[in-house]
Amino acid sequence: MGILVLLEVLIIFFLSRILLPSRMIILSLALIALSINLIHGLEGGLGRISGYLFLLSVFSFNLMDVGIMGAGKILTFLLTGLIVEGAYLALSYWGEGLAAIVSTSLATLLIPLISAFFISPSLASTFPLSLVNLCLVGLMVGIIISSVWELGALLLGHISAFQKIKVLWKRWMEY
């Protein structure tokens, strides 16, 4: 998980010099969504997402990738991680895929929202149109990334199962 965080921080660091801030926020949310899905799919376990988000916030402490930096970023990512872990735990009863999609989308929705409340609580509490749009973009990024990830995992599972059936069929036909 540490290598994933370092790789993501390096990507964010170098691309933040090239991209506009609005595009950088979308790219950062997409990388976070991809990493959350990777962690859900490969490692699983309770506390992994919170740990990943905490490490990411510590290593990208001085980067303005999601619109906030410093201690506010650490608190934003920790709060988001705890909410996402709770949502994943609550929804995993209905299926791992649904829980991964909803929790990832919730993470990409909450990061801009909680960041806005840390930057200016009085302005964020009025929910200006730009904040609503940013939250909706984050939600859509999360839904798209996690849906594509789960669809890929589903197709890979079917291909793997098909290959096993094919091997068994060939062995049976040889007898």
The full set of domain ranges for the chain reads: 2-174
Tokens of 113: 């929202």
**For the segment 66-103, what is each residue's pLDDT rounded down to a tens digit?**
777 788 888 999 999 999 999 998 998 888 888 889 99
Q: How far apart are CA 75 and CA 68, in angstroms?
A: 10
Taking CA atoms, 75 is separated from 103, 114, 137, 175, in Å, by 18, 9, 22, 64
Residues of the chain under the 70 pLDDT cut:
44, 161-170, 172-175
How many other β-carbons are positioned within 10 Å of the β-carbon of residue 74? 18
**Half-sphere exposure for 60 (CA within 13 Å, toward CB):** 31
Question: Rounded to two decimals, what is the model's pTM?
Answer: 0.84
Please give the pLDDT value at position 139: 95
**Collapsed DSSP state (helix, strand, coil) of residue 127:** coil
Please give the pLDDT value at position 108: 94
How many other β-carbons are positioned within 10 Å of the β-carbon of residue 43? 13
Please give the pLDDT value at position 136: 94
